[in-house]
Amino acid sequence: MKNALSFSLADFFFNDSPDVLSPPSDFEEWMNDPRTQECFGFFEQQLLSAPKSSTEILSNLEGKPKKVINLTSYNYLGLSFHPEVIQAAIEGLQKYGLGASGAPLLSGTLDLHAKFARMLADFKQKEDCILFSSGLAGNLGIMQGILRKGDLLVLDEKCHKSVIDGGTLSGARMQFFDHNDTEHLAQILDKNKDKRILVAVDGVYSMDGDLPNLPEIVKICDLFPDVRIYIDEAHSTLIFGANGRGVAEYFGLEDKIGISFGTLSKSFGGVGGFVCSNAKIIRYLKGYASSYSFSCASSPPVVAGLIKALEIATRDSTLRDKLWENTHYFKKNLQDLKLDLGNTESQVIPIIIGSSGELLFEMARDVQKKGLFLLPIDFPAVPATSRRFRISVSSQLTKDEIDKACNIIEDSIAKRLKKK
């Protein structure tokens, strides 16, 4: 294929094949091109041990196991392998077995699920909570459960794909406002006073690590008495706020949030999603969110482990403090290298490279060769003008690991950017 690297997944969405089980013919050609295969080689590299700060992967580039410093997992607080979490999960497994074996409304709700949902509602200071088997399922469920045709979902343009897909599923109209542009948001709300409206923002934007301008967003929404705010605190729960309740706590605006979403797959170290709000809408959601009512309840050992994870993360601030210490140290070192980190204010730190996909993948090969698990993020996941790497800082990283990582980043990324 001529210049395979000039194409991306954005080019093959529409399918001209008469058979729905055949991808577009040029997609096959693109995927089979050695240059595409080299780029896709970064995906689905297998981890051979827990997602710790130093771990081992089966390197697709080298075709063999490779020890790496891990900057790519969402295990921000290291809770997925915390000894107390593992012990709690083992006990949950022994008592309840592997699966819940039922939908939550029928036989799938165990005392564990009810206890955990109560703990989460109390933690988030909301009346009630509903659990989902994944974060994505939670976002699909909220939007599809509460929005109807004729409603309007107003989203920041950088909201996560699961919120957008939930909006599509709901049949509500969706309108995006420019990232953190509150004037644009105000214009949209002003033009739609006759609609039922939900405004959606992320707590931490997952590709950029920046925060919503919540104080201004709340100020605008307060001008419209029926407009409600939804926040996706996937990357901010257990990390932001004096008690780790998230970005809404950090800004002192929790009472202004109508519905608060979190995932259990990131700082909690497990898997699942949860939504906290007033008790009436949670009860309603249980009847109308298909990803809740038509899907098996989450695995009991996972829930048992998550209960312990929440206890550990909230009994004191040790892990959170360590994460912030590491984040500040890492960020300072990267700033000294004069790298473009966008507007990150969190443990999600992008290193923005620019528009060259070839340069991005050349750097990606080099960092991995030198022992860093740091993946390239390409268009269409991010704009074609700001291809990047994305660091997920963990509380588990040692200073020595951060120093080593920064040396590799300097050699493989910063020096190449200087030459450009």
Residues that bind ligand PLP (CB under 6 A): 134-136, 139, 160, 162, 202, 206, 232, 234-235, 263, 265, 273
Q: How far is the CB of 230 from ligand PLP (least distance, A)?
A: 11
- What are the residues whose beta carbons fall under 8 Å from the beta carbon of 162, sequence distance 6 or more? 135, 136, 138, 139, 140
Nearer to ligand PLP, 161 or 191 (CB): 161
Among all residues, whose Cβ is closest to ligand PLP?
A: 135
Nearer to ligand PLP, 53 or 263 (CB): 263
Angstrom distances, CA of residue 67 to CA of 56, 88, 292, 391: 4, 29, 39, 18
Q: How far is the CB of 141 from ligand PLP (least distance, A)?
A: 12
Nearer to ligand PLP, 59 or 258 (CB): 258
Residue located via tokens 């990283």 = 397
From 42, 135, 24, select the one nearest 357 (Cα to Cα): 42
Q: How far is the CB of 247 from ligand PLP (least distance, A)?
A: 11
Nearer to ligand PLP, 136 or 367 (CB): 136
Nearer to ligand PLP, 7 or 209 (CB): 209
Q: How far is the CB of 210 from ligand PLP (least distance, A)?
A: 12
Q: How far is the CB of 100 from ligand PLP (least distance, A)?
A: 18
β-bridge partners, 350: 390
From 79, 105, 37, 47, select the one nearest 263 (Cα to Cα): 79
- DSSP single-letter state for residue 296: P
Nearer to ligand PLP, 167 or 413 (CB): 167
Q: How far is the CB of 27 from ligand PLP (least distance, A)?
A: 25
Please report, as a single letter, which amino acid is at residue 151: D
Nearer to ligand PLP, 235 or 308 (CB): 235
The first and second tokens of residue 34, run together, are 């050695």
Backbone angles phi, psi at 173, to 5 degrees: -80, 145
Q: Are 228 and 278 in contact (CB under 8 A)?
A: no
Nearer to ligand PLP, 52 or 160 (CB): 160
From 44, 118, 110, 62, select the one nearest 282 (Cα to Cα): 118
Q: What DSSP assignment string belongs to 26-47?
A: HHHHHHHSHHHHHHHTTTTPEE
Q: How far is the CB of 132 from ligand PLP (least distance, A)?
A: 9
Q: How far is the CB of 208 from ligand PLP (least distance, A)?
A: 11
The kind and range of the H/E element at 231 are strand 228-232
Dist. CA 63–CA 242, nearest whole Å: 45
Q: Are 61 and 41 in contact (CB under 8 A)?
A: yes
